[in-house]
Structure 1
Amino acid sequence: MNLRHRLGRSNGGNAAAAPLLAPRAPEAEPDRYQQIKKQLHRELISKLDLNMLEGLDEGQRRAQVDHLARRLLVEAEIRLTRGDEERLITELLHDTFDLGPITPLLLDEEISDILVNTHRQVYVERLGRLELTSVAFRDEAHLRHIIDRIISRVGRRIDESTPLVDARLPDGSRVNAIIPPAALDGPILSIRRFRRRALSIEDLLELQSLSAETAQFLTGACRARLNLLITGG
């Protein structure tokens, strides 16, 4: 039985689980996982004791949300494999505390750019090469929520009167967000990250960003302490 059917399965018809497992039209079945995650997130927000969470550190807050999410899954009688359950809980934690589905991308040190081309497509630049990922947001509202979270953390706002905003993440990454009406197909987001380790000549050769001749010339120029003018980027 695939994930879509497992998520739609309920044992016992518990009345308390009805809001989470309400019947859906057949055409909506492919979105079942995202729908349950969305509804479970709403349940979490409604049941969390925010005053209690304020007195906890980051690790304790995450532990509380993790525990509550697992309890809600049990109460709703949602049967998942261990792997699917861990994936769901991890994604819920990312949605609650972090930057949603792009959080794992921000943890990957090989990624220098994250390009969210509407909620359906997310590209990354990894080691100098552009890649289409399998990451996606639930819908435009989900992406807009994450954009608002990023912008609000730096004391900025984004709305119809200010549909384009530049900002920085705490780690120094540059962020550019555009929403309608400036973005015709829905919100878009780009994050330019800075590598913790500078690329070496060997790295540039491996990435084919430099030819062997150019690398040899630059190495010789540096050793000879010649003046260099670098343009472009």
Structure 2
Amino acid sequence: MNRFPPRSPLPIPERVRSDAPVAQSDGSDDVRRFKAQLHRRLVVGMDLSALNAMSRDQLRQEVRRVAEELCQRSPNLLNQQERERLVNEVLDETFGLGPLETLMRDPTISDILINGPHTVYVERGGRLELTDVRFTDAAHLLHIVQRMVTQTGRRVDETCPMVDSRLPDGSRINAIIPPLALDGALVSIRRFSATPIRAADLVANRSVPQEMMEFLEVCIRARLNIVVSGGTGSGKTTLLNALSAFIPANERVITIEDAAELKLQQPHIGRLETRPNNIEGAGAVGTRDLVRNALRMRPDRIVVGECRGPEALDMLQAMNTGHDGSLTTVHANDTREALGRLEVMVGMAGFDLPMWVIRRQIAAAVNVVVQVSRLVGGARKVVKVSEVTGTEGENFAMQDLFVFKQTGVDGDRRAQGCFHATGLRPNCMERLEAHGLTLSMDLFRKRMLQPGAR
């Protein structure tokens, strides 16, 4: 039974006659108009009562059949190849993310950056490229953005023009729409591999040398508290995912994120995600609320995707009250600056604490800070591993254990350099040994570990 009642043939656009040259699928007005008409006819012709009984695959097949039939009624407009492409575009528009579907299916793309309806960039291999993807207009782009965010129960409109959310495939999306965005919606999509990048992959990619990864592994197993620091897009979450694989399988881990993107591999995981205000402006649940609640959930470790506000105080208290081995990330340009950022965020909690008290809390809670950076040419590397040893007057006492030293760039403008151990003995060696873990001092003797070029 045909679930789409027959309709009259689609009218051919006036500018296209039966004897006119075949229209090219290069974004011409005629083809775009024909595509819009085809999409409208499909939507109008759908038997909504029958859709509920069909699976998504069945529905796509039925829409494809009817779309191909409608296209065949205008043989002079498009050839077979162009009709196939047009049908696929209409399917993407009906069931997917429209023009973005081809980009979302490309595994080499790590970021999609949309600057209004006619400018779309992607990042491949750490470098930005302008694409030929276009939206019909600002309204079309806004419609696709709203479709993306509503999939996870979020909303974006004039009363709530900014949104952080995630797509069903785990990709993270940030969008800001007019009136705040002047030239159409600004959208950033951070894509993640279906298979999480593991520690061995980071070593193979020369993002971190084997010796450094061995040290970080024993730090995780010995339940040291670790902060991963870096700029936007530097690889903080990727490294956090890789390090989490070293957490023993018999420990209970609670993860807290604004938009869930961590993919921990342990069997005993509790995942929490913040919630924004509802349409009445109430009902928000922030990271700080979730950190406080996680303390009542009997966690062995707490992993906060990113500390960016007053929740830093609750995170430090958790680290100092029996939840050793916790991990989090912060935005900072250096390991020492990361501790300064934590100071500022603790101050945002609203408690009138002396600065020396805050510094002592941080120094007692944080054991190791790992700095990741995106270097010239797009390569992402762990550029420093520092140990927090205490406080000295008004400053933190820290020592660098491993560093990456850039020596220049190659012919493709990619950073060249080497990883080095500084030669300092970690103060945490006794704690590692107390957990039955040993490390050879050869790891820390001052020497080049491996070239860091990529």
Which TM class, normalised by the smaller chain length?
0.7 to 0.9
Structure 1 counterpart of 2:202: 200
**SS of the counterpart of 1:229?**
strand
Residues 18-53 of structure 1: CA distance to partner in whole angstroms, max 9, x if unpaired?
3x42448xxxx9322112111111111111112212
Partner of 1:5: none
SS at match of 1:185: coil
> Which structure shows the higher strand fraction?
2
Residues 78 and 47 (structure 1 numbering): CA distance in 2 closer, same or farther, change over 3 Å? farther
Larger RCO (alpha carbons 8 Å, 6+ apart): 1
| Corresponding residue of 2:148 | 150
Q: Which of 42, 45, 60 is 1:44 aligned to?
A: 42
Is residue 2:370 matched to residue 1:230?
A: yes
Q: How far does residue 177 in structure 1 lie from its aligned partner after superposition?
A: 1.2
Equivalent residue number for residue 185 of structure 1: 183
Alignment partner, residue 312 of structure 2: none
Matching of residue 219 in structure 1 with residue 210 in structure 2: yes
Question: 1:92 is aligned with what amino acid?
Answer: V
User: Residue deviations 1:101-130, cap 9 Å, x none?
Assistant: 111211112111111111101111112221
Change (3 A) 1:127 1:53: same
Q: Distance between the aligned counterparts of 2:126 and 2:132, measured in 1?
A: 19
Identity of aligned residues (%): 41
TM alignment of 1:65-144, pairs within 5 A: 65-144=63-142
Matches within 5 A, 1:56-71: 56-71=54-69
Alpha-carbon distance in 2 for matches of 1:33, 1:133: 20
Q: Which moved more, 1:42-51 or 1:222-231?
A: 222-231
Tell me, yes or no, if structure 1 residue 21 matches structure 2 residue 13. yes
What is the TM-score with the length of structure 1 in the denominator? 0.79
Residue 154 of structure 1 and its aligned partner are, at CA, apart by 1.6
Q: Say if 2:10 and 2:38, in contact at 8 Å, map to a contact too.
A: no
Larger Rg over CA atoms: 2
Give the structure with the higher percent helix. 1
Cross-structure match for 2:422: none
Task: Extract unaligned runs of 5+ from structure 2.
Answer: 1-7, 17-26, 220-367, 374-454
Residues 114 and 186 of structure 2 are in contact (CA less than 8 Å); yes or no, is this contact kept in structure 1?
yes
Asked if the contact 1:17–1:77 (Cα under 8 Å) also holds between the matched residues in 2, the reply is no
Amino acid at match of 1:231: Q
Task: Report if the CA contact (8 A) 2:15-2:30 is conserved.
Answer: no
Alignment partners' CA distance in 1, 2:117 and 2:54: 33
Separation in structure 1 between the aligned mates of residue 75 and residue 127 of structure 2, nearest angstrom: 44
Instruction: Report if aligned partners of 1:65, 1:93 keep a CA contact under 8 Å in 2.
Output: yes
Partners of 2:105 and 2:9 in 1: how far apart? 37
The number of equivalent residue pairs is: 203
Tell me what 1:162 maps to: 160
Gaps of 5+ in 1: 1-14
Alpha-carbon spacing, 1:223–1:160, altered in 2? closer, same or farther (3 Å): closer
Quote how far apart the aligned CAs of 1:231 are: 2.5
